[in-house]
Amino acid sequence: MDKNTLTGFILIAAVLIGFSYFSRPSEAEMEAQRRQDSIATVAQQKAQMAQEAKEKAEIAHQAQVALDTTSLFYAHRRGEAQDVVLENELIKLTFNTRGGTVQKVELKEYKNQQGGPVTLFDEKDARMQFMLGGKMENINSGDFFFTPINVSDTTLTMRLQASTGGTLDFDYTLLPHSYMVDFTIRANGLGNFFAPSMKTLDIAWNEMARQQEKGFDFESRYSSLTYKIKNEGTDYLSETSAESEKIAEPLDWVAFKNQFFSCVLIAHQDFTEAHLSSTPQQKASGYLKDYEADMKTFFDPNGKTPTQMQMLFAPNNYHLLQHTNKLSASDKDLELEDLVYLGWPLFKWINRFFIIYIFDWLSSLGLSMGIVLLLLTILVKVLVYPTTRKSYLSSAKMRVLKPKIDELNAKYPKPEDAMKKQQETMQLYSQYGVSPMGGCLPMLLQMPIWIALFNFVPNAIELRGESFLWASDLSAYDDVIRWDKSIWLIGDHLSIFCLLFCLTNIVNTWITMRQQQNSMTGEQAQQMKLMQYMMYIMPVAFFFMFNNYSSGLNYYYFLSGLTSILIMWFLRKTTDDKKLLAKLEANYQANKANPNKKMSGMAARLEALQKQQQAILEEQKKKQAQNKK
């Protein structure tokens, strides 16, 4: 190679090297290229994964198609949902062929807040499904389209026809003049499909319980998932907090209960392995509770014995539920009236055998519910008047004897003589025929009636929608005075009946305190001063507690307080202190003529206790004196 050729090669190489150096991409350009390559790789991977998922879905679809074609009820996998209606003069039930179960329940005689019929069950908020475990596949009623047969106004059979010729039937019969539906599940010709050991079916029932009344807080307080244990009483989950419970005992029925209405599923062959839960919902959500019930009940695969149940969609009316017990499809005593909560045992019996019958009698007169509550209050006050009068007279006797008690206080001014002073005070009361506890016991006898009515009035569906004076609905709070924003402890309204109730409570407290002061010594009055202030705080606290309560309950308490004021005024006007003192002096002279007469009752027990305490004190003093020696 000559020199010129070599030089030419060198120049060409230098040019190529320089071009390569100056034309290479920058670091930023190289990073962008790497990022682009990475995005392309990810996109390629996603496309590949999507293709694989599509292939798997297709395989699964083909497998499901193959399974469906061999399914016992393959022909019912697809269809068109249709509604079938059963109704009588009280209730309208809508069933749907998709699932074969009830989809909507309307009570014709009761109105919601918008003026339409009360809807207790709606497919948007509730669902009920029945599951059966077969040898080759599981059956879920919600997956199939049933065929309606034997349809009339009150009867319906939802049928699944098996490819083998057998059938699975859901039979419904709406009983006449009733809210009760007889419900049976029967298998025909399906014995080979189920294992011989399969003796139960599963039930999954859930519902978002709608708010039906105006006052959310008050309605929620009286709404609960309630159930009845076989051969025992009823129980319920918490009304105020979320609760879930597994019930070991067999159950007769499970109810999704609102304040005034209930949806009840009854098993005449028992519910077992029940798992129940209740979750309160937020205010303004339109719902009260989220109810769930999962349980098992009897099922005969051979079809000899049908699964026997009943459905009840009814108002919580005590007498109606009592009558509905007679419609039981078995010999079980359903005790459905327990859905109307009447309080703990003592208060429940007062309501059942006293208050309800008086209320029913007054309601039968055709009066407005406001007048019925007024007459109920007056009647109750008349019945307890003897105890009220006895309580007042006991306080009056102590009032007229106060000068003599003051003499004893002057006689024993020293603190160490307190026991002797107390003993002589009790002796004086006994000699004059006065019992210091005479004013308390009669009032305590009235408390069970007061508490019984506290439980009865909020659960009386007869008050629902009934207006009186300014209250548009006695079962909800009266809110003539209201504002836009909620205020802490008060809310967005002022209940006038609640305010009146609290005012009469303050007046009654003042009357009670005044009676006590008139019978107390100066030292006792000073000791009770703090307690008296606390007594005035209670009516104020009641205002914040009861402002959201039903106007009917506040109205009753207002009437009760007002009549108590009038009775106290009447007793004070008709009691002559001079004549009363003269009567007590006559008692004193009679007892003085019989010095051997012993005290009896509470006074005797108090005297015995005081003597025992006095003996203990004297013994302690002796020991202290001996120790000093």
Domains parsed from the chain with CATH numbers = 74-334 (2.70.98.90), 361-593 (no CATH)
CA 129 – CA 424 distance, rounded (Å): 77
Contact partners, residue 8, CB within 8 Å, separation at least 6: none
Residues paired with 94 in a beta bridge: 85, 104
The angle formed by the CA atoms of residues 92, 96 and 98, to the nearest 5 degrees, is 165
Q: According to the model, what pLDDT value does residue 215 have?
A: 87
Q: According to the model, what pLDDT value does residue 439 have?
A: 62
10-residue stretch averages of pLDDT, the chain, 629 residues long: 50 49 55 59 65 60 49 87 96 96 96 92 93 90 95 96 91 97 95 89 96 92 96 94 96 97 97 97 94 97 94 97 95 94 92 93 94 94 88 85 82 75 78 73 76 92 94 93 88 93 91 72 60 78 90 94 93 90 85 61 57 67 69
Contact partners, residue 257, CB within 8 Å, separation at least 6: 223, 224, 225, 226, 236, 263, 316, 339
Residues paired with 84 in a beta bridge: 95
Three-state secondary structure readout of 91-140:
EEEEEECECCCEEEEEEEEEECCCCCEEEEEECCCEEEEEEEECCCCEEE
Contact partners, residue 473, CB within 8 Å, separation at least 6: 213, 214, 464, 465, 466, 467, 551
Q: According to the model, what pLDDT value does residue 387 have?
A: 85
Residues paired with 312 in a beta bridge: 180, 264
CA 159 – CA 95 distance, rounded (Å): 13
Q: Which two tokens stand for residue 154?
A: 């009150």
Q: According to the model, what pLDDT value does residue 329 have?
A: 93
Helices (H), 364-478: 369-383, 385-400, 402-411, 418-432, 440-456
Q: Are 225 and 293 in contact (CB under 8 A)?
A: yes
Q: According to the model, what pLDDT value does residue 65 have?
A: 43
Q: According to the model, what pLDDT value does residue 192 have?
A: 87
CA 421 – CA 518 distance, rounded (Å): 19
The pTM (predicted TM-score) of the whole model is 0.79
Q: According to the model, what pLDDT value does residue 45 have?
A: 67
**DSSP code of 545?**
H
